[in-house]
A and B are shown apart, each in its own frame.
Chain A
Amino acid sequence: MENKNVLEVKNLRKEYKEFTLDNVSFSVPAGYIMGIIGPNGAGKTTTIKLLMNLIKPEGGEINIFGLDPRKNEKEVKNRIGYVGEEQYFYQNKTVAWTGRFVSQFFKQWNNNKFNAFLEDFKLSRTKKVKELSRGMKVKLSFAIALSHQPELLILDEPTSGLDPVIRREILDLLLKTSREENKSVIISSHITDDLARIADIITFMINGKIRLTGEKDDLLANWKRIHYKKGALSKNITASLNNVQDQVFGSSGLTDHYLKIKDQLADGIGKEEIKVENLNLDDILISFVKG
């Protein structure tokens, strides 16, 4: 796969009275899905607003499709599909009207595609926006975002507040779009399961800073919880663990480099004095917040 970056962010900084986003750098290679994970108030939405040029940064660089989105806003936005947490539509207008209205802002609008999405999503053309459920409104947003054929999708908590069935539908659609059409996606969420399902790259954001960014499968292969009987682990390894807990039924701690220490644990695992447990992205996030 091509390694060209669709998006590059360097040392981004945004100051608010009681919150500072600082030193935020990451990049998204073409065709990849990057998930941004963080607790509420970590700066996910601020980062996305900066990417969308909705707020002005105090410092840093943003580069999308090799362009500066502040200087080439129109061109860049034509090539981005955006879905936010809230859906802003004219409440009294119909689904069909909304599509027609939005289509005029985009050069590459594909009406056949839009109609196909409405059919797929079982969105009635004649229904008014105010009559749509929250899930249906999100689907309408996705139909619009994908019908102008963007190269990059920027999604801010698009699945929050949706039931698991609709969430899965949307995730499958995203995955399909990204894989079949080589589109890049940036998606923020605190529903880490969703990101675990579709993301290639995961970026953890805590308190306005990037705590860790890396390939998802690599992270999950290396981050493990190690349960051990007292004395079963060497001092070096014990010292390298995070979030160590000593309990009646044994101790446990997290490692972020399991593949490196795996061989040293083999004997203990054979004797059943050491047990290794997979972690999910939630566990990793929580360890960052606690640590």
Chain B
Amino acid sequence: MFIVVSHQNPEPMYKQVTDQIKDAIVSGALKPNDKLPSIRSISLELNISIITIKRAYTDLEKEGYIYTRSGLGSFVADLNREKMRSEKLEEFRRELKNIVLKAKKFNIPAEDILKIIHEIQEETNGK
């Protein structure tokens, strides 16, 4: 798993952790029932407070991404792939909205942006 947290990132620390664990789950880097690292080991490696990681794990559990077995630790839940996909699409929608708004400012029509997306897709095929 690749996780980086930064004090310079304006997002709160716990959110940086939850977002990256979610990404790992949604992208398939973490599989259902994989064991998550212990709170103390994350705290040590990433140099963030135990309270922060506890909060991140609690949030992930509430949202159904992970489950906890007392005494054993936390594990990746076997969750609804469709739901995760639609959450990701929602995220892309937000990012694309920024791009479309920016394009509007420079009078670039959305079709041109679409064309660029297709071009990029072709360039990165096979990568």
Chain B contact residues: helix, strand, loop or mixed = loop
B2's partner among A249, A267, A277, A278 (CB-CB below 8 A) is: A249
Q: What is the size category of the interface that chain B forms with chain A?
A: 10 to 19
**B2–A250 contact, CB under 8 A?**
yes
Indicate whether B45 reaches chain A with its CB closer than 8 angstroms.
yes
Return chain A residues, CB-CB under 8 Å to B8.
Answer: 277-278
Chain A contact residues: helix, strand, loop or mixed = strand
Q: How far is the CA of A277 from the CA of B1 in the complex (A)?
A: 18
**A248–B45 contact, CB under 8 A?**
yes
Q: How far is the CA of A196 from the CA of B63 in the complex (A)?
A: 42
**A273–B2 contact, CB under 8 A?**
yes
Q: What is the size category of the interface that chain A forms with chain B?
A: 10 to 19
**B4–A275 contact, CB under 8 A?**
yes
Q: How far is the CA of A278 from the CA of B9 in the complex (A)?
A: 10
- A/B interface sample: 23 pairs, CB < 8 A: A227-B2, A228-B2, A247-B45, A248-B37, A248-B41, A248-B45, A249-B1, A249-B2, A249-B3, A249-B42, A249-B45, A249-B46, A250-B1, A250-B2, A250-B4, A267-B127, A272-B2, A273-B2, A275-B6, A277-B4, A277-B6, A277-B8, A278-B8
Q: Which residues of B contact A (CB under 8 A)?
A: 1-4, 6, 8, 23, 37, 41-42, 45-46, 127
Q: Which residues of A contact B (CB under 8 A)?
A: 227-229, 247-250, 252, 267, 272-273, 275, 277-278
